[in-house]
A and B are shown apart, each in its own frame.
Chain A
């Protein structure tokens, strides 16, 4: 059985948890107590990931670290329809990769701010918040234009991709780091669309949304 080394409150671990659920892949969660135990830095865990961070997956002997790398692997291995990581269309694939890179930025700003507020990490909170707002402005405008084109997702495809999964936790949990989404109405609509996808699971900090009265078309 596929194993995910996981911490409940980690935005980065939430990414593979979400995709595993949406792809309906059976898996075991192996809890790694990031806080307060700092188990990810323990000698035992460093045997699995010498860099000492989570998430990590172990799939039939294959070990892979880093949230976005894991998303790419899971989509490649477990999505026969090839929509989550669309290798058949080079332009689309390039776009997905570009948004995965963008999600590194939201992790370094929005999610870093959350670590400061929640667990007292000593990053420059003000810089993290300002950086997150800069990225959210870009993403909100991007998603507004997607809506104008009649598209729902970050990459220009009819179906969601790993880019949506990579961005969702950093955005949906941003208010825990003091980053309000009041100014980003398109971001708020997009997070609701992600929450309505089949197989969506929440985590603490993500509040439930209303189901649509009819299936989205």
Chain B
């Protein structure tokens, strides 16, 4: 029988680490309130300067009540917490440990869409010439060449490899634009990153990541993070690029209906260039993700 769409997240989501604040925004003695999975969460710093988070429930808005402390870690310029039992460590981005890297939280924006829709958009090459015209793509150069998708059997992470797309302003010297190579990695149902050849060193990769903070099933804070080898640009210049790209995605994401991502094959029409998206939907289903999605067999 058809089940309805669940309103409460199950273990597949509860037990994950979720970003709740930019680490740099936290100040000693100050508390930031935010939302996570439809709950009120407070984030602050403890005496060692490590982030700490606790759940605000009805009773705990009362100063006398003991707040329920949540597990908290700092990683990749963000404070992360969990409402369930999280793994000991968050997924690794080994590149971030290289000494000549600049790691920075680049841009965060609230978007009225589910986290999986936002991740799927990040995994998508076909929208570049339409949504990011003149930057990441340019009509009529719209073809998406075939690429590979695989689930790493050891880590159970989803990868899309050998992705290639024509980009009009990939290099300052080129007038015709050039083909850019991408690798995508989905290490977490609500997080995705891409590896792109570093312009100053072809053998190394810049990392651009999207960490979604699911405020509720259909609202996210769209946090972006970059780990780059760049000795020239200012932080503000690096952030400006990501600001532009994220802000261009926002109106598209907010015009998608339904806001939850349908996992049933056939609810939306997919073509060959959507194989990363199709694989992501299946992967979410296999992980038992039930929040931010319309599960297989559920009616809307």
Contact = CB atoms under 8 A, between A and B. Distances in A.
A119 B239 contact: no
A8 B243 contact: yes
A37 interface: yes
A33 B236 contact: yes
A2 interface: no
Interface in B222-249: 236, 239-240, 243-244, 247-248
Contacts of A8: 240, 243-244, 247
Contacts of B25: 36
B248 A204 contact: yes
Contact of B254 (A33, A120, A175): A175
A207 interface: yes
Contacts of A35: 107, 243
B110 A204 contact: no
A36 B239 contact: yes
B176 to A, nearest CB: 24
Contact of B108 (A36, A175, A205): A36
User: What's the interface size class on B, roughly?
Assistant: 20 to 34
B112 interface: yes
Contact of B250 (A36, A178, A204): A204
Interface string A18-52: 00000000000001010111010000000000000
B251 interface: yes
Contact of B107 (A36, A117, A120): A36
Interface string B246-277: 01101100110000000000000000000000
A176 interface: yes
Interface string B45-60: 0000000000000000
A118 interface: yes
Contact of A117 (B112, B236, B240, B243): B112
B247 A204 contact: yes
A39 B108 CA distance: 16
A138 interface: no
Given A9-B243, A31-B236, A175 B110 contact: no
Interface in B80-117: 105, 107-110, 112
Contacts of B112: 117, 178
Given A8-B244, A176-B251, A176-B254, A36 B110 contact: no
B241 to A, nearest CB: 11
Given A8-B243, A8-B244, A33-B236, A176 B107 contact: no
Contact of B110 (A120, A206, A207): A120
B184 to A, nearest CB: 23
B16 interface: no
B22 interface: yes
A31 B236 CA distance: 9
Nearest to A32: B236
B254 A204 contact: no
B110 A119 contact: yes
Nearest to A37: B236
Contacts of A39: 236
Nearest to B245: A204
Given A9-B247, A36-B25, A176-B250, A118 B110 contact: yes
A35 B105 CA distance: 12
Instruction: List 3 tightest A-B contacts by C-beta distance, closest first.
Output: A204-B247, A204-B248, A117-B110
Given A8-B243, A36-B25, 8 more contacts: A8-B247, A33-B239, A35-B107, A117-B110, A175-B251, A176-B250, A176-B254, A204-B248
Interface of A: 8-9, 31, 33, 35-37, 39, 117-120, 175-176, 178, 204-207
Interface of B: 22, 25, 34, 105, 107-110, 112, 221, 236, 239-240, 243-244, 247-248, 250-251, 254-255
